[in-house]
Amino acid sequence: MTSMVENATSYIERAEEIKLLANDAFKANKFSQAIELYGQAIELNGLNAVYWANRAFAHTKLEEYGSAIQDATKAVELDPKYSKGYYRRGAAYLAMGKFKEALKDFQQVKKICPNDPDATKKLKECEKAVQKLRFEEAIAVQESERCSVADSIDFRCIDVEPQYTGARIEGEVVTLDFVKKMMEDFRNQKCLHKRYAYQIVLQAREMLRALPPLVDVTVPNGHHFTVCGDVHGQYFDLLNIFELNGLPSEENPYLFNGDFVDRGSFSVEVILTLFAVKCMCPTAMYLSRGNHESKSMNKIYGFEGEVRSKLSEMFVELFAEVFCCLPLAHLINGKIFVVHGGLFSVDGVKLSDIRTIDRFCEPPEEGLMCELLWSDPQPQPGRGPSKRGVGLSFGPDVTKKFLEENNLDLVVRSHEVKDEGYEIEHDGKLITVFSAPNYCDQMGNKGAFIRFAAPELKPDIVSFSAVPHPDVKPMAYANNFLRLFS
């Protein structure tokens, strides 16, 4: 009997030691390592609510909000009076834009800690967000009845003041000289005149709207093509990509695979640069929609606030409209399938199914379009729930089958931070590429891009480190309550 008690005690002590190691990993921003260590502590002592809540927090840091909610729920089941469990779950709900669920959790925190000023403040912010949401829902017009804001804008009527010294578009054509001058102005933190910003965004809209949901890209023999992953408003790292790999041109084309905006605080500069290059030379710049090219994400993660601050309210509506025109995937020489998120919850999806998706809408909560933007690979076979709480996780067998059925060689996707800027998975049949180094100024990761040269189309992956940027923190324009939690 004594030895059983001693065993239990030693498990509990060992779990505590591992928890301290996990805490250290967390403080060093090594969130994956922290998750693994908290998991080991849970295996030794699964009845300690603190371990579950701590692991939930680490999941939140990796944007794995689905897993965070599961862990925090376990914490409050183990200890219904544990305020941190509700707090962690509320924060994860907030990050997913689920304000009403978040509100319930913060009300619970306030009930348990009535005198905690921090809990009071966060509850107030959450109540404000829910009220605003209810108001927006009440006045929202059905998408089918909504007039296009783009059709109501005539940029030609906007005068440019004589004292404006920034980049100018002469007439209708966006030239390389204009793009270079605009990029240099942005580097020096100068703004582009609204007239030209409207002109670029409206022209880009026309081009994107004319494209199919799945764009076929042809790379002739002896030529190359570069694929970049998430840039997330990190403008100075975007400039560095162009310095390392050359400016986009017909001879040096790029595909940016979604998540151009949000989190980083130079999203306006990033999106105007990418759109301007698209206008200058449509075959120099291909753009795919990411899960962050959507109203719900932009409201929370900074793009909407940044657009209001640097441009105007009208531009908020305009960008939302243009994002709905972005294609969902690209096919390089009929062999390489490039998409922001990943594959599907059902077998048998053909390229022809993707070609018929009606994409001109905000991303739905389920179905093919949602999965293209949100899914992630997993190492084990089959399919599993998404750690993000949206989309799903798919295994190597799912990738293999999709490639075989569509006569493809490779899936390239983005959507996840990787230490080296990329990761090769699923028996070499799937590559993740992520192009925002030192993501959010705290992850310490490298960025990467992939060059494919025809005819072989072998992936040549280049990793790069972050470069300095002006002292504007990530999420500087993000929703107020979200900043409270970061």
* Residues carrying an active site annotation: 292
- What is the rounded CA–CA span in Å between residue 340 and residue 259? 8
Show Cβ contacts of residue 85 under 8 Å, excluding neighbours closer than 6 positions.
Answer: 49, 52, 53, 56, 72, 73, 75, 76, 79
Question: How many residues in the chain?
Answer: 486
Residue with tokens 């925002």: 436
- Cβ–Cβ contacts within 10 Å for residue 114, how many? 9
- What is the rounded CA–CA span in Å between residue 129 and residue 123? 10
Read off the tokens for 332: 């390089």
Check residue 418 and report its DSSP letter. Answer: -
DSSP β-bridge partners for residue 424: 431
* Residue 468 three-state SS: coil
Residue with tokens 């060093």: 28
Show Cβ contacts of residue 69 under 8 Å, excluding neighbours closer than 6 positions.
Answer: 56, 89, 92, 93, 389
- What is the rounded CA–CA span in Å between residue 268 and residue 264? 10
Longest dimension (CA), the chain: 90
Asked whether the beta carbons of 440 and 474 are under 8 A apart, the reply is yes
Read off the tokens for 342: 């990943």
- What is the rounded CA–CA span in Å between residue 20 and residue 140? 49
- What is the rounded CA–CA span in Å between residue 175 and residue 169? 8
CA 193 to the chain's CA centroid: 28
As a three-state string, the secondary structure of 343-409 is: CCCCCCCCHHHHHCCCCCCCCCCCCHHHHHHHCEECCCCCEEECCCCCCEEECHHHHHHHHHHCCCC
